[in-house]
């Protein structure tokens, strides 16, 4: 099993550009999550999904959109990137109520 994979690993964007981060898991997990990690702020939940076709807002959802068209994939979109969105983004997945498994992260810089 590959576990949780994230694409791309690194990206540099200019302010106002858009991009999509892809998360894929091969563990048949129902739940998937997107977090961002910033120095001194810890991990914060952006959006999450409890199943195919469903999404919900987390702690810091503004400026991001998500889609879960297939159970194994969870996409995070930035429509108009801002320097405040410079961060490391992590995807995670889990079965209901069980431990979360994390991907390796995407390091995004917005200039």
Partner 1 sequence: KQEVTQIPAALSVPEGENLVLNCSFTDSAIYNLQWFRQDPGKGLTSLLLIQSSQREQTSGRLNASLDKSSGRSTLYIAASQPGDSATYLCAVRPRGNNRLAFGKGNQVVVIP
CA–CA separation, 97 vs 53, rounded Å?
19
Token digits of residue 11: 């990206």
Cβ–Cβ under 8 Å, residues 23 and 76: yes
Binding-site size for partner 1 (CB under 8 A) equals 24
CA–CA separation, 40 vs 48, rounded Å?
23
Is 103 a binder of partner 1 (CB under 8 A)? Answer: yes
Is 43 a binder of partner 1 (CB under 8 A)? Answer: yes
Q: Using DSSP, how many helices (H) and how many strands (E) does the chain show?
A: 0, 11
CA–CA separation, 54 vs 106, rounded Å?
23
Is 60 a binder of partner 1 (CB under 8 A)? Answer: no
- What's the closest the beta carbon of residue 40 comes to partner 1, in angstroms? 7
- 103 or 110, CB closer to partner 1? 103
One residue of 14, 40, 62, 69 binding partner 1 per CB under 8 A: 40
One residue of 19, 52, 58, 67 binding partner 1 per CB under 8 A: 58
The binding site for partner 1 (CB under 8 A) comprises: 4, 31, 33, 40-43, 45, 48, 50, 56, 58-59, 90, 92, 97-105
């Amino acid at each position: 099993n590959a576990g949780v994979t994230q694409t791309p690993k690194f990206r540099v964007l200019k302010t106002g550009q858009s991009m999509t981060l892809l998360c894929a898991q091969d563990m048949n997990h129902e739940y998937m999550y997107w977090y961002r990690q910033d120095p001194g702020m810890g991990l914060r939940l952006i959006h999450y999904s409890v199943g195919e076709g469903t999404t919900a807002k987390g702690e810091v959802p503004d400026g991001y959109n998500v889609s879960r068209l297939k159970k194994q994939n969870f996409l995070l979109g930035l429509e108009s990137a801002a320097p405040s969105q410079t961060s490391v983004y992590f995807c995670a997945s889990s079965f209901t109520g069980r431990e979360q498994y994390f991907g390796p992260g995407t390091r995004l810089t917005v200039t």
